Structures are given as C-alpha cells and as structure tokens.
Amino acid sequence: MVVLVTGANGQLGQSLQFISKHYSDIQFHFYSSSELDITNKNNIKEIFSLIKPDFCINAAAYTAVDKAETETEKASLVNVIGAKNMAQICNEFYATLIHVSTDFVFDGIKETPYTEEDTTNPQGVYGKTKREGEMEIIKNLKHYFIVRTSWLYSSFGNNFMKTMLKLSKERDKLNVVNDQIGTPTHAIDLAQALVKIILSGSKNYGIYHFSNEGNTSWYGFAKEIFNINNTIIDLKPIPTSEFPTPAVRPKYSVLDKSKIKAEFHISIKEWADSLKFYN
C-alpha cells in the first residue's frame, strides 16, 4: 500500500510521520510544500507518476485564519485550487484522496453537534475557501474521504497549546475567551483515524467528522493545559467581545462523530484524556 502525504512539515504531517513506523504494511511518502506544491498541477503529476500512490492524504492547507481575511487570493489558491488539483490528479491516477477540512465551514449558531448533513455557512475567508475546496473534490473525484476536524493541536507546529505554554513563560496573567465552544483534537488521534480509514478498505466515500470527544471553551482548554503542566498563572475568562479578531470564529463548533465511529469502528478519546496522554 503506497500512501502519499502532502504538507509533511505541518502538525498533522509530522504526526503522521511520528506514527508511520507502526504501520509496516504501508509505504508512506512524505512531501513538504516546497517539495510538492499542491497549487502546481505539473509538480503533483510528476510525483504521482514517480510513486504511483494508492492513497493521498492532503494535509497541506492555508490555515492562518485571521491572515486569510486579507490574503484572500493566497488562501483560495491553496485551499480551493490546491484541493481541485489534488482531486483531478487522484482521479487521473486512480488514487483515493483523504482531504482534511474544518469546523469553520459552519456558522456556529447551532447548539447541538454538527453532523455531516448540516448546512454549511462559513463566516470567514478561511472557512469559505475550505468549503469551496470540499466542493471541488466532490465535483472532480468519486473516491474521496473528506474529514472535518476542529481545534487541532500537538507537540508539532504552531497551535493553541504551544502558544499558551509559551505565553505562560512570558506573562503572569492571561485572558482567554470563554464563550466559543468546541473540541480540542490531538493531531496524533486524527492521524491514527486517517490511517484506519485507509486500512479499512471501505468504499463508503464522502464527508466524515473527527475530533476528540467532549467539548470545552478556549478558556477551559487553556486551564487544563496549565493544570497538566503544573503552570501557575492568573487565568481570566473573557467574552469574545473583549478579544476581537479579523476573522469571525464559530461560537459553537462541536462535531458529531457518529458516522465515522460506525463506519470505521474508531474508539475516540475524550479531549482532556488525550491532552494528558500525549503531554
């Protein structure tokens, strides 16, 4: 089984590299964005011709949520054109695409977990480009799994956990938003779920949701990070109105995982347990 992974230097790409040694029956090929540029169709085709993958995990994305509001073309190039290119090349080479998407495709006005059938209504450029990328894949490819996730963190790359720990070394006090609710997801748990999809042999293509179980606020997430790391800091919960950002965040973006659990028999850790386990 040959699996190509794009975005190898991102936190999901690095998490996939970290777990790859446990899967001797899969031949992984990891490519960073400088080695495989998903916005360059010829570049993708050259690499597909070289390694002839059975599966491609597209972990490459433009994820700078606030910057996307001003870097619209850049976000669109990677998240929309890049996704379209990957779908078309996968189609040409009879490869199955596993594409990672986001909770930001929803507007956050629900009060119960979002299912795959819920109407999307992204509020910012990042969410809009990710949704458009999903639609390009659906239009150009039959053999695909789109996996939406949320609040991704790990010991790799840049993420909320690492930012909190860094700030706690520089400050005595921190204010963190307490009225945005979602689910922190460890990138290694997501990586393992993606590999399980590959090994399942399932042909039930489509959109799936994956995050850890449970939910919290960014304040609750920060509090647990500091508790686990025995960090003493004056942590204050604040409303979103006191911490304005260029991009609108969903107020509620908990994902329903019933579909992915049923199809792939995946057992999912509670977010706080995962935080402790990998810390």
Tens digits of residue pLDDT in 220-256? 999 999 999 999 999 999 999 998 899 999 999 999 9
Q: Give the pLDDT confidence score for residue 156 in this predicted structure.
A: 93
The count of other CB atoms within 10 Å of the CB of residue 184 is 25
* pLDDT at 278 exceeding the cut of 80: no
Point out the least confidently predicted range of 185-194, 209-218, 225-234, 270-279. 270-279
d(CA 243, CA 116): 30
Query: Average pLDDT for residues 10-26, to the nearest whole number?
Result: 96
The count of other CB atoms within 10 Å of the CB of residue 245 is 12
- What would the two tokens of residue 23 be? 């899967």
> How does the average pLDDT of the chain come out, rounded?
96
User: Percentage of residues in the chain with pLDDT exceeding 70?
Assistant: 100
HSE at residue 195, side-chain half, CA atoms within 13 A, is 22
* Amino acid code (one letter) for 36: L
What lies within 8 Å, CB to CB, of 244 at 6+ separation is none
206's enclosing H/E stretch is strand 206-209
Level-2 CATH architecture, domain 2-159+183-213+254-269: 3-Layer(aba) Sandwich (3.40)
Q: What is the dihedral of CA 114, 209, 71, 187, to 10 degrees?
A: 130
Q: Give the pLDDT confidence score for residue 279 in this predicted structure.
A: 61
Residue 56's closest CA among 11, 98, 91, 10? Answer: 98
Q: Give the pLDDT confidence score for residue 120 in this predicted structure.
A: 97
Q: Give the pLDDT confidence score for residue 227 in this predicted structure.
A: 94
Q: Give the pLDDT confidence score for residue 277 in this predicted structure.
A: 85
Query: Average pLDDT for residues 133-151, to the nearest whole number?
Result: 98
List active site positions: 126
Helices (H), the chain: 11-20, 41-51, 72-76, 82-92, 125-140, 160-170, 187-200, 218-228, 258-264, 271-278
Please, are residues 255 and 103 in contact by the beta-carbon 8 Å criterion? Answer: yes
d(CA 244, CA 68): 16
